[in-house]
Each structure stands twice: as structure tokens, then as C-alpha cells.
Amino acid sequence: MSPAPKLASFPAIRGALRFYQVCSVVTGTMLLLLCAEMVVKYAFGYELFLGGSGGFLWFAPVVEGPNGHESTGDGLNLSLGILVTHGWFYVVYLFACFRVWSLMRWPFLRFLLLALGGIVPFLSFFLEVRVAREVRQYLKTREDVELHSRPEHSSVTQAVPAENER
């Protein structure tokens, strides 16, 4: 069993949890956009562009060339932008996962499960809810135990007279 997080790290855990939640939602959303982009590109043969000869937003056909699939559109390739953005934000998501994992002192397999949230569609949304609920419950339980274990809050100890009452 891994050691329990220290009480002094609870504010850092709360901050790491908030950062993880934001990263989880952004990464999950980018992954869904990436999956949709891949379906459109490889199943239907189109890429999404911003600006250029086709107008504001338009789909350009993808052709098979000597180097694989080649784009025929001009303008800003949003399909490529989604791919790159998800890739870079997945690195940020991994950092957020690592931070929560290390502060909570979970086993390494738990980190691997969190990391899968950025590459398995919809998993990050489910993990975000579950991890947030679990961490908040753990922190609340530990704080309650610590509060009631102090002598001044214990119902077992008797009142100690103050200096001026002796």
C-alpha cells in the first residue's frame, strides 16, 4: 500500500485537481474533434480548411499521392491544426495527470489509466468525474479524521482547566 498524502499537500492537491479537470475536458474535446477529422479524412476523403479559394470554412478533397494522402486545399488546414493542438495539449494533460497522481501517491497503474484518458475517446470525461469525486471525498474524510483526532476536539478527553481557573 502506498503512503498517504500529507495534510500539508492538500491545498496543492486541490489546485492540481482543478488543473486536471480543465485539461481533461479540453483534451477529451480535442480528441473527439480529432476522431471526427480522421473519419472525414480517411472515410470520405476531405479535409477542413479556413479561408482560401473555397471560402470561409470549406472541405477540400484529399488525393492519394506518392507520399500518402495529400491535401488539395489552400488556406489554413484546420484538420492539421486539430491534430497538432491535440498532440500538444495531450502533453499538458499528461503533466496534469502526473501532478494529481504524484500528490495523491497512487500506484503507477493508476497513472497509466489516467494517461489513457487522452487517447481513448470519451474516457477523459468519465475519469474526470470519477477522479474529482474520489479525491474530494478522500480529502474530506482525511480532514474530518484529523480534526476529530486532536485533543481539543475529542469527546473522549476531558476539559483541561485554563491557567486562570487553577
User: What phi and psi, each to the nearest 5 degrees, are found at residue 71?
Assistant: -80, 145
Sheet holding 76-77, edge to edge: 68-71, 57-65, 46-50, 76-77
What is the per-residue pLDDT across 11-20, written as a single tens digit (0 to 9) for each?
A: 999 999 999 9
Span 142-154, pLDDT tens digits: 999 888 876 665 4
Closest CA to 117 of 12, 37, 23: 23
Q: What percent of the chain has pLDDT over 90?
A: 71
pTM above 0.95, yes or no: no
Residue 151 half-sphere exposure toward CB, CA atoms < 13 A = 4
Long-range CB contacts (within 8 A, 24+) of 83-88: 83/34, 83/37, 85/30, 86/27, 86/30, 86/31, 86/33, 86/34
- pLDDT per residue, tens digit, the chain (166 aa), is 668 898 889 999 999 999 999 999 999 999 999 999 999 999 999 999 999 888 899 999 998 888 888 888 888 999 999 999 999 999 999 999 999 999 999 999 999 999 999 999 999 999 999 999 999 999 999 999 888 876 665 454 455 555 665 5
Cα four-point dihedral sign 26, 32, 34, 36: negative
What type of residue sits at position 149? Answer: S
